[in-house]
Amino acid sequence: MLIKPTITYAGSCPLFRSLEMQILNAIPLDKCEWRRTFQRPTKQVRLEAQAQQFNVSMLEKYKQGEWSILEHPILHIFVTECNDIDTYKATIKDEIDAWLKLLTSYGVLDWMILLVETLDMRKTKNILPRTTVLDKIRLDFGSKNDDRCISVLNPAKFEQKSTESFRCLVQRIRFLMLTSYNRNIVKYEDLLRSKRERRNLDGWDFRQYFFLQEDLALIFEKLELHTEALIQYDELDALFSQYVVQQTDSFRQPLDAFNGICLNRVDKFEMRSKIRNRSLPCSLLEFRNYLFERQAQLLFTSNDIPEIAKRLLNFLFSTLREVDYIKVECQEGSLACWSFVCALEVLQLCEQAMEPNEVTVQCFQHCAPIWNLAKDKLYELGKLCGLLPGSTPTSEQLHIVVQLSSGIGDDNSTVEQQQHFLLANPQTRERSPNRKPKKSATQQLKEALGSNQAFEKLYLELAELAISTYKHVARLRSARLVGLDLGKFYCIHMNEPHKAVGFFTDLLRELKTENWQMLSSQTLLELANCYRKMGDTLAYTKSCSSISCCVELETLVRTFYFDEFLKSLKNLNTTLSAQSSMENANFCVLEDHFRILDIEVITPKPIIQDDFVVVQLKMESFYPREIVAETIKLCYELETPPALEEVALTTPTTKESSISQLKVSLQLSYKQDNKLHMSTVSCDSPKTKHSVRRTSSTKRKLSPSVHADFSNFVQAENTALQPGVNIIELKAKAMRVGNWQFKQLSLCMSRLEFLSEQLPISPPSFEVSTKPASATLEFKTLIAGIIQPILLHVSGGSFIFPADAKVTLRCSKNLRIRQALKSNDETNNLANDSTFETILQVPLKHFKSFEERCIPLEVLTDMPGRKTTKHHEHHIAISCPWSRTELLIPIEFQPAMEATCRLHTCGTQKFLQVIMKGLEAHLLLKQAMVKCDVSGVKLVDLNPKNQQPIEIYKTLMVTYLYEIQVEPLKTEEELPIVKVHFVIQYASLEQPTIWRNYGCAFDLVDYTTLFKLQGQLEPNELCRLRTVCNMNLKITKIHENPYVDLMYEVLNDQNLWAVCGRSAGVVSMKDVDSHSISLDVMPLSTGFLPMPSIRLSKYTAGGKTKADAHSKVHPFPPGQVYNSTKSLQIHVIASVSADQ
């Protein structure tokens, strides 16, 4: 169908005809700027035109409002070659006038007057006419629009000179045509609007309206306004959808032919003429096809191929809905055929037009669902016609095939035309000549319907294409969904289940990760079916087990698969090959079948090495019935300190940041004089095709391949697990010390092992430890000499004691020990100190680990006869069954009492005073005795006889007195030391019947009196205050002795006495027996004053040798000097003068 705007001509028709070809050919040569109304963008348009002689009938329709913009003449030209003004005035003017009046009467304003000048050169050279015909015409007709009057040199006569004027003419014609379109389109649109508004009235003809509007669309298309043309078609599409629903009857005829769309028809308007021809009723499909083809054509020319693909599904399904709504009678499968052909047609177009540019991705995006649709429709057909692999078509089905094949229709295009069609678009590229041209969609379908093999091949091809296209546009989930269909096809129809497994497992993995339980259980069903067909018992068993645990499924299904599971579980032992590969591992995911609710360590803390660890496992079983697990193991591993991991983590992050650094570079540009003009920092960002691309979620494996270290585990055997919550006790011996953490749960049934992926968020940890056994002695302050309680504390720790274990205690010298006696034994053994031993063995009967036992013991140590109050140090060595080395425990004893002695002199008589000083203990004393083995020395007991035992306690002192009588012959030279033994019996207040001896040895030295000191105060017995008295001292030698020089000192209290003159002096006793000294003293106080005490010392004069430059004074030991002035008192009375 040719669409060219029409131009009419009137006036001098032969003249125009002579110019016609030239003008019409010239019009499309150049583009013209089209200024459009309503501020629409200007456009460069290339026009074409056809010419017709002016005919009034053409305008009739226009006037009536029944016109079509397509047929309506767009420009009316009046042609004349009148050069003579007179002729013009006489005839031409009237002609033009009549012509114009006729036009205006029809409301046509698009006219043009063309004056063809056949200029006579000789004439014009001489006479320049005052007014030309053109001026006249302009004056007469073109008062407002003189651009509509134009003159042109006849190009037939002036080939050289006419070019310029002719170009002007063509330009003017183009311009006027476009102006005319501006006006006419607006008018036409008004017309359409008014027509459309009447669509609900009776008798409104859609078909008529359709062509009216389509004409506009065609004009738009002609004027290269593809989008606006498309809008017209879209409007028609929408209107048609309404119309179909209202006017169901008009399309209700049965559908015999169901040709698909053909995007590369030879005659694009073949269908248009068919639709237009009312005698041939056109089917809904044909109409729809035509509409879509037109839309596709427009989209193709505006190079928006993805949009075609995008629109296809809408087109197909809305049409199918309409067919369904109208209830068009049609052959079963015909619609599928139609959809299939349409889909394939669009896909082929997309494929051909694909360029490695951005359009492609968009295109692929829309293509993917179409591939899928084509695949589905083909499957539908295959099912209908018995073409699925493994089935043979019946005669009825063959009949259907024949019917369908005829209904599809024949191929409408050829390869050459295809090429031509593609070449029409400059963007499409040449296909390589080696490549075989694709068969058309119709051909492909026919072939596929022809044989099972062809069908299978095509189906697989389509499915693969759908999957790969989905994958290409990063829609993995959709790809997997298609994979599900393909898997089903492989498994059910082609009996090649091994090919299907991959598709199912892929999908299953994703669904499980994302918790789409219902879907994953459905996929599992497929997978189980697959494995059953493959004869893969292990996998089948696993799947059955998983299915029976799918809570979403119906109980009937679950129990069926549960039975299957048990059945094949039995067979598993015989069929399973000995070695299990990684793929074929007999691991199952525990989480699919059980849910671990809680893990609790029951054994009280701390758990000792070699003890049993009992763990309570709370687990929910999803199986529909009871199952028996042969072993349930829960392994544990040593806890690793988290610090190490942190260190490891930090290093790679820094690395990553360095990688992701942008490639920034510095650019400097200089001026001509080498000065810096500009500096920039630029960054080439790598071009990413997809700005945002989703990453799939973390992958979860279908079967756990990681088998944790099961060297340490707690386990339970042959446990029956009920559906729902079970509480199981797992047991194991704690072998190694450390902090343990549970890692993985394994559950074995026959050859199957269920392994947990991960335990609930915080698996409890437990500690296995050992505790050393220990033995200690506990005591308070210990006192020597009496029985002291002491506690042996044995704590068993984690040591396991033999039945006859004992602890041996060995005491140091003088220390004895025994086990404490029970109170009722008191009478028997109380007195018996012999039960104390230096080595004691304490039996530990039936001593258990971690037992703590306190064994009371008693210790006794001798009280040594020393006078000092120092502590007595002892120690006890303990040897224990758990240790080879002895444990040495130091013990200190404090003495119970203390004995000291003093020597007293009375003239030549000597007395020994023994002082018992009570210390810590509360004791009874009796039978004090002194012994002296030296002959010639006799000790006379001066203490009262037969006295009761004396109580002694802290801070209390008991004194015993003895007189020492040394035989006169035995001089000190003979017996320089007299050893005296003091013995006393004592008993503690708690046990007053047991008397122990306390002995103490004293050495008596310097016991002979050498000098006697006497003193007298004169006047005797009457001293007055502040009156000088005379004190006479007399030193008498009693025994011969080597001390010659003596020094005396008066040691007076300065408040009581004042010594007048020297208070000290040295006397020599050489060759004299006595010496008298007189001193003056004065009392300073009244009353009975002690006499000033005198001290006598040995004196060694200095200066005799160089070493002893100074004199030295040495005191005498107490027994060698008898001072008789000691404790004398003087009565001092107040002085007379004082009284006065």
Q: Which helix H or strand E contains 376, and what residues bound it?
A: helix 358-384
Q: Kindly state whether residue 691 participates in binding other proteins, applying the rule CB under 8 A.
A: yes
Contact mark string toward other proteins, 262..281, x via CB under 8 A: --------------------
Q: Kindly state whether residue 442 participates in binding other proteins, applying the rule CB under 8 A.
A: no
CB 1037 within 8 A of CB 1069: yes
How does strand 627-638 pair with strand 713-721?
antiparallel
Per CB under 8 A, which region of 187-195, 389-397, 687-695, 1004-1012 contacts other proteins? 687-695
Residue 513 or 1063: the one with the smaller Cβ distance to other proteins is 513
Cα 18–chain centre separation: 89
Q: Kindly state whether residue 514 participates in binding other proteins, applying the rule CB under 8 A.
A: yes
Phi, psi (degrees; rounded to nearest 5) at 161: -80, -20
User: Segment 482-511, which members bind other proteins (CB under 8 A)?
Assistant: 484, 511
Per CB under 8 A, which region of 6-14, 145-153, 368-376, 700-708 contacts other proteins? 368-376
User: Segment 90-119, which members bind other proteins (CB under 8 A)?
Assistant: none
Phi, psi (degrees; rounded to nearest 5) at 945: -85, 160
CB 281 within 8 A of CB 275: no
Phi, psi (degrees; rounded to nearest 5) at 962: -135, 145
Residue 536 or 591: the one with the smaller Cβ distance to other proteins is 591
Question: What is the distance between the alpha carbons of residues 1073 and 1077, in angstroms, rounded to a whole number?
Answer: 14
DSSP symbol at 921:
S
By CB atoms closer than 10 A (0-12, 13-18, 19+), residue 619 is: buried
Residue 372 or 537: the one with the smaller Cβ distance to other proteins is 372
Question: What is the distance between the alpha carbons of residues 480 and 513, in angstroms, rounded to a whole number?
Answer: 14
**Using CB under 8 A, which of 179, 522, 545, 726 touches other proteins?**
522
By CB atoms closer than 10 A (0-12, 13-18, 19+), residue 700 is: middle
Per CB under 8 A, which region of 28-36, 468-476, 986-994, 1103-1111 contacts other proteins? 468-476
Q: Kindly state whether residue 692 participates in binding other proteins, applying the rule CB under 8 A.
A: yes
Residue 401 or 462: the one with the smaller Cβ distance to other proteins is 462
Q: How far is the CB of 376 from other proteins (least distance, A)?
A: 6
Phi, psi (degrees; rounded to nearest 5) at 619: -140, 140
Q: How far is the CB of 691 from other proteins (least distance, A)?
A: 8
Phi, psi (degrees; rounded to nearest 5) at 47: -105, 160
Q: Which helix H or strand E contains 670, and what residues bound it?
A: strand 664-670
* Nearest partner of 910 among 866, 934, 942, 935, judged by Cα: 942
Q: Please identify which residue in the block is written with the tokens 């499309």.
A: 28
Q: How far is the CB of 370 from other proteins (least distance, A)?
A: 9
**Angle (deg, nearest 10), helices 395-408 and 334-353:** 50
Q: Kindly state whether residue 524 participates in binding other proteins, applying the rule CB under 8 A.
A: no
Residue 308 or 768: the one with the smaller Cβ distance to other proteins is 308
**Using CB under 8 A, which of 109, 239, 474, 737 touches other proteins?**
474
Residue 248 or 900: the one with the smaller Cβ distance to other proteins is 248
Q: How far is the CB of 514 from other proteins (least distance, A)?
A: 4
Q: Kindly state whether residue 697 participates in binding other proteins, applying the rule CB under 8 A.
A: yes
Per CB under 8 A, which region of 94-102, 176-184, 543-551, 692-700 contacts other proteins? 692-700
Reduced DSSP (H G I as helix, E B as strand, rest coil) percent helix, strand, coil of the chain, to 5: 35, 30, 35
Per CB under 8 A, which region of 514-522, 617-625, 639-647, 1103-1111 contacts other proteins? 514-522
Contact mark string toward other proteins, 937..976, x via CB under 8 A: ----------------------------------------
Residue 516 or 710: the one with the smaller Cβ distance to other proteins is 516
Q: Kindly state whether residue 480 participates in binding other proteins, applying the rule CB under 8 A.
A: yes
Per CB under 8 A, which region of 97-105, 157-165, 518-526, 680-688 contacts other proteins? 518-526
Question: What is the distance between the alpha carbons of residues 997 and 220, in angstroms, rounded to a whole number?
Answer: 143
Q: How far is the CB of 313 from other proteins (least distance, A)?
A: 5
**Using CB under 8 A, which of 1, 238, 518, 957 touches other proteins?**
518
What is the DSSP annotation of 247-293?
-GGGG-S-B-------TT-SSTTHHHHHHH-TTSPPPHHHHHHHHHH
Per CB under 8 A, which region of 61-69, 595-603, 690-698, 960-968 contacts other proteins? 690-698
Residue 145 or 513: the one with the smaller Cβ distance to other proteins is 513
CB 1072 within 8 A of CB 1034: no
Per CB under 8 A, which region of 81-89, 477-485, 615-623, 899-907 contacts other proteins? 477-485
Residues 710, 716, 719: CA angle, nearest 5 degrees? 130
Per CB under 8 A, which region of 6-14, 480-488, 942-950, 1019-1027 contacts other proteins? 480-488
Query: How many residues of this chain bind other proteins (CB under 8 A)?
Result: 29
Q: Kindly state whether residue 475 participates in binding other proteins, applying the rule CB under 8 A.
A: yes
Residue 123 or 694: the one with the smaller Cβ distance to other proteins is 694
Residue 477 or 981: the one with the smaller Cβ distance to other proteins is 477
Residue 370 or 755: the one with the smaller Cβ distance to other proteins is 370
Three-state SS for 726? strand
Q: Kindly state whether residue 477 participates in binding other proteins, applying the rule CB under 8 A.
A: yes
Q: Please identify which residue in the block is written with the tokens 């050919």.
A: 25
Q: Which helix H or strand E contains 523, and what residues bound it?
A: helix 517-534
Question: What is the distance between the alpha carbons of residues 1043 and 1011, in angstroms, rounded to a whole number?
Answer: 10
What per-residue string of b and e applies to 664-689 under the rule 16 or more CB within 10 Å gives b? eeeeeeeeeeeeeeeeeeeeeeeeee
Q: Which helix H or strand E contains 193, and what residues bound it?
A: helix 162-197
Q: Kindly state whether residue 701 participates in binding other proteins, applying the rule CB under 8 A.
A: no
Question: What is the distance between the alpha carbons of residues 908 and 456, in angstroms, rounded to a whole number?
Answer: 149
Omega within 30 of 0 (cis) for the link into 393: no
Question: What is the distance between the alpha carbons of residues 306 and 364, in angstroms, rounded to a whole number?
Answer: 8
User: Segment 299-338, which members bind other proteins (CB under 8 A)?
Assistant: 313-314, 317, 320
- Residue 784 exposure: Cα atoms within 13 Å on the Cβ side: 23
Q: Kindly state whether residue 478 participates in binding other proteins, applying the rule CB under 8 A.
A: yes
Q: Which helix H or strand E contains 950, and what residues bound it?
A: strand 950-952
Q: Kindly state whether residue 481 participates in binding other proteins, applying the rule CB under 8 A.
A: yes
User: Segment 1023-1082, which members bind other proteins (CB under 8 A)?
Assistant: none
Residue 15 or 313: the one with the smaller Cβ distance to other proteins is 313
Q: Kindly state whether residue 369 participates in binding other proteins, applying the rule CB under 8 A.
A: yes
Residue 231 or 320: the one with the smaller Cβ distance to other proteins is 320
Q: How many CB atoms lie within 10 A of CB 935?
A: 9
Question: What is the distance between the alpha carbons of residues 586 and 451, in angstroms, rounded to a whole number?
Answer: 43
Q: Kindly state whether residue 373 participates in binding other proteins, applying the rule CB under 8 A.
A: yes
356 token code pair: 């490695």
Q: Kindly state whether residue 612 participates in binding other proteins, applying the rule CB under 8 A.
A: no
850 token code pair: 């971690």
Residue 154 or 339: the one with the smaller Cβ distance to other proteins is 339
**Using CB under 8 A, which of 110, 376, 591, 753 touches other proteins?**
376
Residue 659 or 692: the one with the smaller Cβ distance to other proteins is 692
Residue 376 or 753: the one with the smaller Cβ distance to other proteins is 376
* Nearest partner of 408 among 285, 309, 553, judged by Cα: 285
Q: How far is the CB of 697 from other proteins (least distance, A)?
A: 5
Q: Kindly state whether residue 453 participates in binding other proteins, applying the rule CB under 8 A.
A: no
Per CB under 8 A, which region of 150-158, 371-379, 723-731, 903-911 contacts other proteins? 371-379
Cα 936–chain centre separation: 104
> Which positions touch other proteins (CB under 8 A)?
313-314, 317, 320, 369, 372-373, 376, 474-478, 480-481, 484, 511, 513-516, 518-519, 522, 691-694, 697
